[in-house]
């Protein structure tokens, strides 16, 4: 039902201008959903969501001379994208959508009224609208009250809402992480009861929600909700598996709680308040190899030998199945595999060669590896934590000194492939790769020795080859 407008003077002029254009042509237009919610929360950006009774083809006709550019990537779902100046607008035709029990894609059916469109929205805080250009506020499901209470409820029954689109269950966890909202008890109950329905949703849509959750302000809240409702067991099963049973003597950590703490501590090291996707996923996945490598040793001890290697494999498999870009998969997996390397440093016993190898293996991920390694210290023993921190400070200082001496981040053999072919008198082939590796190891072990000495070493190495 119409409400008094709580958004005076907060509607972007570009939205009013577009509303007047649609009204002049006999069509309705309203600012809707997340845009209204974010304006009320004081966090609006330059992206606006709008809804209309006009069909997508008609929307294209209406905006073609008004917009700076138009895109139609979402037109099959009733959405037309528009850029006007610095504003990005998505205009979606009134609709309702639902899943066939065996389908991964929603079936889109266009609606006729704004009120019916709002009824299909995921949560009441996203089921508010402002008609344009009149600025008539529409809030049929108490979204303003829920926003004030920081509560997530569904407009319809949660069972009906999640039946229409099971992805909304993940979206509830995502909003808990992004906005710090509490999910209503009946909504949590429905998420728990209907968790298996998430399996009909495509991997790409699940990935997008999980990624937004991880990059939210409070990912711990969203992840906890996923684990408690059983959704995590279906979309990110490695996480609940970390809830290892603590032995009777309480001699090893709850790996699940440890992981959430590492994630919190990794976030605390992010710069400029920007979420570091690779760092956060690495923190979340760094110990997922522990359940498979857990062994009970003598005297009640528990070991997890090589869990970093197993964890890297599991991370690569999960993130690939979720259709993450290959570079993200590679970076996160590499950080998981490297996260224990520092503990071989002891109290500083590494040679300069070992430090060079540490830097070389980390490559462009060195800064993130520093942060992940520091975040992985969750001991409550202040003396032990301080000692670990000092030791890592010392390692970073050694890296910095070596970098000043020899541009450590750009380590290359002193002879390249062309030099190797010339000196050995051979053409391209496997021997060049073996020779290059020998020279790289020499560079790491000895530092800069000069091209003449490197050539002599190469020839000596070649004499020992078959």
Tokens of 29: 């237009």
Say which range, 247-251, 321-325, 384-388, has the weakest mean pLDDT. Answer: 247-251
Does the pLDDT value for residue 104 go beyond 70? no
Burial of 156 (0-12, 13-18, 19+ CB in 10 A): middle
d(CA 16, CA 20): 6
Strand partners for 387: none
6: confidence class by pLDDT, cuts 50, 70, 90: low
Query: What is the pLDDT at residue 433?
Result: 86
d(CA 396, CA 392): 6
DSSP, residue by residue, 9-45: T-S-HHHHHHHHHHHHTT--EEEETHHHHHHHHT---
Neighbours of 116 (CB within 10 A): 12
d(CA 452, CA 256): 54
The mean predicted confidence, pLDDT, of the chain is 89
Reference 174, options 122, 99, 109; nearest CA is 122
pTM: 0.80
Reference 323, options 233, 206, 240, 214; nearest CA is 206
The residue-averaged pLDDT of 392-407 equals: 81
Encode pLDDT of 81-90 as tens digits. Answer: 999 999 999 9
Query: What is the pLDDT at residue 19?
Result: 95
Query: What is the pLDDT at residue 202?
Result: 93
Does the pLDDT value for residue 187 go beyond 50? yes
Does the pLDDT value for residue 410 go beyond 80? no
Query: What is the pLDDT at residue 250?
Result: 44
Q: Is the peptide bond before 133 cis (omega within 30 degrees of 0)?
A: yes
152: helix, coil or strand?
strand
| Residue 129 near residue 110, CB atoms below 8 Å | no
Encode pLDDT of 333-368 as tens digits. Answer: 999 999 998 887 777 788 888 888 898 899 899 999
d(CA 221, CA 229): 12
Query: What is the pLDDT at residue 272?
Result: 84
The residue-averaged pLDDT of 276-296 equals: 93
Return the ∠ at Cα 239 (arms to 235 and 242), rounded to 5°.
150
Question: Would you tell me the crossing angle of helices 255-267 and 277-285 to the nearest 10 degrees?
Answer: 160
Q: Where in the chain is the domain with CATH 3.30.460.10?
A: 1-143
Query: What is the pLDDT at residue 367?
Result: 92
Phi then psi for residue 110, to 5 deg, are: -75, 145
Please report where in the chains the tokens 């606006």 appear, as a residue: 48
More confident residue, 376 or 300: 376
Query: What is the pLDDT at residue 226?
Result: 98
126: helix, coil or strand?
helix
- Of the chain, the end-to-end C-alpha distance in Å amounts to 86
d(CA 110, CA 53): 9
Query: What is the pLDDT at residue 97?
Result: 59
| Residue 222 near residue 174, CB atoms below 8 Å | yes
323: alpha, beta or left? (left if phi > 0; alpha if psi -120 to 50): left
Domain boundaries 1-143, CATH class: alpha beta
Please report where in the chains the tokens 């298996």 appear, as a residue: 196
Q: How far is CA 431 from CA 221, 366, 426, 436, 453, in A?
A: 54, 30, 8, 8, 20
Spacing of C-alpha 129 from chain mean position? 29
248: confidence class by pLDDT, cuts 50, 70, 90: very low
Compute the residue count for the chain. Answer: 466
250: Cα within 13 Å, side-chain hemisphere: 0
Phi then psi for residue 125, to 5 deg, are: -70, -15
The residue-averaged pLDDT of 70-77 equals: 90
Encode pLDDT of 297-323 as tens digits. Answer: 787 777 788 899 999 999 999 999 999
């Amino acid at each position: 039902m119409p409400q008094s407008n709580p958004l005076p003077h907060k509607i972007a002029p570009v939205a009013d201008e577009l509303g007047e254009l649609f009204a002049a042509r006999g069509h309705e237009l309203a600012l809707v959903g997340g845009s209204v919610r974010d304006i009320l929360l004081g966090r609006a950006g330059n992206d606006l969501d709008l809804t209309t009774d006009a069909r997508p083809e008609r929307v294209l006709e209406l905006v073609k001379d008004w917009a700076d550019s138009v895109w139609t990537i979402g037109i099959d779902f009733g959405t037309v994208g528009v850029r006007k100046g610095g504003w990005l607008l998505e205009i979606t035709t009134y609709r309702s959508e639902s899943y066939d029990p065996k389908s991964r894609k929603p079936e889109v059916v266009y609606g006729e009224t704004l009120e019916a469109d709002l009824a299909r929205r995921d949560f009441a805080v996203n089921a508010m609208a402002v008609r344009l250009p009149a600025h008539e506020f529409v809030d049929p499901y108490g979204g303003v009250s829920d926003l004030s209470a920081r509560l997530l409820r569904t407009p319809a029954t949660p069972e009906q809402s999640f039946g229409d689109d099971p992805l909304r269950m993940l979206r509830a966890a995502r909003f808990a992480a992004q906005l710090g909202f509490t999910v209503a008890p009946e909504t949590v109950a429905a998420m728990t009861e209907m968790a298996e329905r998430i399996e009909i949703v495509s991997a790409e849509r699940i990935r997008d929600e999980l990624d937004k959750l991880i990059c939210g302000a409070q990912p711990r809240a969203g992840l906890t909700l996923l684990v408690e409702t059983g959704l995590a067991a279906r979309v990110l099963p490695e996480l609940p598996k970390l809830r290892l049973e603590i032995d009777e003597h309480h001699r090893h950590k709850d790996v699940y709680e440890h992981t959430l703490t590492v994630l919190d501590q990794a976030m605390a090291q992010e710069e400029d308040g920007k979420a570091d996707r690779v760092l956060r996923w690495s923190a979340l996945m760094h110990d997922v190899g522990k359940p498979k490598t857990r062994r009970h040793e003598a005297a009640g001890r528990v070991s997890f030998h090589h869990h970093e290697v197993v964890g890297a494999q599991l991370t690569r498999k999960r993130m690939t199945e979720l259709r993450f870009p290959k570079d993200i998969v590679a970076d996160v997996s590499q950080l998981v595999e490297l996260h224990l390397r520092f503990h071989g440093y002891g109290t500083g016993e590494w040679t300069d060669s070992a430090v060079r190898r540490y830097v070389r293996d980390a490559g462009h991920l060195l800064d993130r590896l520093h942060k992940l390694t520091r975040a992985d210290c969750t001991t409550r023993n202040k003396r032990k934590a301080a000692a670990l921190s000092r030791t890592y400070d010392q390692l970073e200082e050694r890296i910095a000194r070596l970098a000043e001496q020899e541009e450590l981040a750009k380590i290359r053999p002193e002879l390249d492939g062309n030099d190797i072919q010339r000196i050995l008198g051979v053409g391209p082939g496997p021997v060049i790769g073996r020779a290059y590796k020998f020279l790289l190891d020499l560079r790491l072990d000895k530092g800069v020795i000069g091209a003449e000495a490197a050539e002599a070493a190469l020839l000596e190495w070649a004499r020992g080859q078959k």
